[in-house]
């Protein structure tokens, strides 16, 4: 039987999987299972298993594009409608400290991983010119510090052989998604981790309690008018965010001609996705200062969470488990790289007694960017999704600069 390629059928399967996970999560006889395996992890892994079993073939699917371009900005608006920005800012400096720690871990982790694997596979270091492995790894650094736009910038800046580029994309996707799965898994262990880190969760708990208290105070039975308002606000904001994002992205090179050069260190800020996400976040924050905030009472954050979980399922389709055994030396570089990143985060988190939430979101704001940072934040609580997106925007800003320095260190490691 051929794999399913029709997006309508695939979307139906994903929706059925999500419904099954959330339904079974409420069953008492499965509580012990879900205490070990978080529901969000299954939402992520089950689509990957369908790809592995060749039930579905997402190679031509547009579902991830739709989820990331339409559902994600709608979710950001709906989930920030009731946010208390002052309370978010009062979370303190630990979030930023761990974000930049994650960035540093990517910058130094790549060169160290190349040195380690190069000692076992010296032939990797024999490639020269545009085929040199350090040039390809620089594109992964761009992706892991910022996102796709930063990755494309590094490809242009260091002129890596585009015929070999696919293997770097494979490492990027497999390792980044594997790391996301690990972070999601440990969300279910956050209490034990925070106890070990001796973390002070009071600011996070206060924000969650404040959000939940507000939700209870405005909760009411939703009418058709309420639901239409939710859709109008959410997807109206998506349209506006795309309009403004495209306008800024298209005109930045005219306003600042230096950005027309794709090799410029700040060229990635012309990314339409960056401005779309930033605009959607700003719209949500501004709307939270109006009467639209009361839409939380009819489930705005719940609908936003539904959109986030649909995004999670489409992210899961991006990983092909069959490809894990291909090019083991490159995958080992990626795994060692992300391990160095995680160890540095853990050590600094332990030192400053930061909650696991800051560690996980700080990591994903780098490695996953705007598509998955709100996912990991919302897996702790929907009220925290805005923290993920704000840090992810920081990743876009520093992504190209950080990746450029990482590439210079990769070149040094390659030539040692």
pLDDT at 324: 61
Task: Compute the distance between CA of residue 325 and CA of residue 313 in angstroms, rounded to an integer.
Answer: 23
pLDDT at 106: 94
Rank 98-102, 338-342, 381-385 by mean pLDDT and report only the highest. Answer: 338-342
pLDDT at 325: 63
* 326-350 mean pLDDT: 90
Q: Is the pLDDT of residue 254 over 90?
A: no
Given a contact cutoff of 8 angstroms between Cβ atoms, the answer to whether 260 and 388 are in contact is no
Given a contact cutoff of 8 angstroms between Cβ atoms, the answer to whether 114 and 413 are in contact is yes
Q: Which residue, 51, 352, 18, 349, is CA-closest to 186?
A: 349
Given a contact cutoff of 8 angstroms between Cβ atoms, the answer to whether 117 and 134 are in contact is no
Read off φ and ψ for residue 276, nearest 5 degrees.
Answer: -65, -45
For the chain, the average pLDDT equals 83
Q: Which residue, 126, 136, 140, is CA-closest to 158?
A: 136
Residues 9-38 as b/e (b if ≥16 CB within 10 A, e otherwise) read ebbebbeebbeebeeeeeeeeeeeebeeeb
Q: Which residue, 103, 112, 149, 153, is CA-closest to 134?
A: 112
Task: Compute the distance between CA of residue 37 and CA of residue 297 in angstroms, rounded to an integer.
Answer: 30
pLDDT in tens, 104-156: 999 999 999 999 998 888 887 887 888 888 888 998 998 888 766 667 667 77
pLDDT at 317: 86
Please state at what angle helix 133-145 crosses helix 356-367, rounded to 10 degrees. Answer: 130
Given a contact cutoff of 8 angstroms between Cβ atoms, the answer to whether 42 and 311 are in contact is no
Start-to-end CA distance of the chain, whole Å, equals: 51
∠205-210-213 over CA atoms, to 5°? 120
Given a contact cutoff of 8 angstroms between Cβ atoms, the answer to whether 307 and 273 are in contact is no
Q: Is the pLDDT of residue 84 over 70?
A: no
| Choice among 190-194, 317-321, 341-345 with the minimum mean pLDDT | 317-321
pLDDT band of residue 312 (cuts 50, 70, 90) is confident
pLDDT at 44: 80
pLDDT at 157: 73
Task: Compute the distance between CA of residue 99 and CA of residue 308 in angstroms, rounded to an integer.
Answer: 22
* 362-378 mean pLDDT: 81
Which helix (H) or strand (E) segment is 189 a member of? none
Task: Compute the distance between CA of residue 104 and CA of residue 343 in angstroms, rounded to an integer.
Answer: 11
Q: Is the pLDDT of residue 265 over 60?
A: no
In this structure, what token pair is assigned to residue 381? 């609580």
pLDDT at 262: 64
Higher pLDDT, 2 or 153: 2
Task: Compute the distance between CA of residue 226 and CA of residue 224 in angstroms, rounded to an integer.
Answer: 5
Percent of the chain as helix, strand, coil, to the nearest 5: 80, 0, 20
Helical spans, DSSP H, in 84-201? 85-89, 94-120, 133-145, 148-158, 165-187, 190-197
Q: Is the pLDDT of residue 12 over 80?
A: yes
Q: Is the pLDDT of residue 89 over 70?
A: no
Which helix (H) or strand (E) segment is 146 a member of? none
């Amino acid at each position: 039987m051929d794999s399913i390629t029709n997006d309508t059928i695939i979307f139906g399967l994903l929706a059925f999987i999500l419904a099954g996970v959330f339904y079974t999560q409420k069953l008492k006889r499965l509580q012990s299972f879900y205490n070990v395996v978080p529901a969000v992890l299954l939402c992520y892994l089950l689509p990957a298993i369908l790809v592995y079993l060749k039930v579905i073939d997402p190679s031509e699917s547009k579902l991830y594009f739709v989820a990331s371009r339409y559902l994600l900005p709608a979710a950001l608006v709906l989930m920030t409608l009731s946010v208390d920005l002052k309370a978010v800012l009062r979370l303190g400096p630990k979030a930023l400290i761990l974000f930049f720690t994650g960035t540093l871990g990517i910058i130094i982790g790549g060169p160290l991983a190349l040195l380690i694997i190069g000692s076992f596979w010296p032939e990797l270091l024999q490639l020269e010119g545009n085929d040199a492995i350090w040039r390809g790894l620089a594109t992964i650094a761009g992706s892991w510090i910022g996102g796709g736009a930063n990755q494309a910038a590094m490809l242009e800046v260091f002129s890596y052989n585009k015929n070999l580029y696919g293997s770097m994309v494979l490492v990027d996707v497999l390792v980044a998604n594997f790391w996301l799965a690990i972070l999601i898994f440990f969300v279910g262990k956050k209490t034990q981790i925070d106890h070990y880190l001796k973390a002070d969760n009071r600011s996070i708990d206060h924000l969650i309690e404040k959000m939940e208290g507000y939700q209870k105070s405005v909760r009411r039975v939703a009418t058709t008018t309420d639901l239409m308002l939710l859709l109008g606000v959410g997807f109206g904001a998506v349209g506006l965010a795309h309009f403004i994002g495209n306008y800024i992205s298209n005109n930045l090179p005219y306003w600042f001609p230096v950005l027309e050069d794709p090799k410029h260190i700040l060229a990635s800020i012309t990314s339409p996705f960056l401005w779309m996400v930033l605009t959607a976040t700003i719209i949500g924050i501004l709307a939270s200062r109006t009467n639209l905030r009361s839409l939380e009472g009819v489930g705005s954050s719940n609908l936003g969470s539904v959109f986030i979980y649909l995004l999670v399922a489409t992210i899961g389709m991006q990983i092909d488990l069959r490809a894990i055994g291909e090019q083991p030396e490159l995958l080992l570089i990626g795994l060692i790289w992300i391990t160095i990143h995680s160890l540095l985060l853990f050590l600094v988190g332990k030192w400053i007694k930061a909650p696991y939430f800051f560690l996980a979101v700080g990591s994903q704001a780098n490695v996953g960017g705007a598509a998955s940072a709100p996912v990991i934040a919302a897996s702790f609580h929907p009220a925290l999704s805005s923290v993920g997106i704000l840090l992810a925007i920081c990743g876009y800003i520093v992504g190209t600069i950080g990746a450029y320095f990482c590439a210079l260190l990769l070149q040094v490691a390659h030539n040692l």
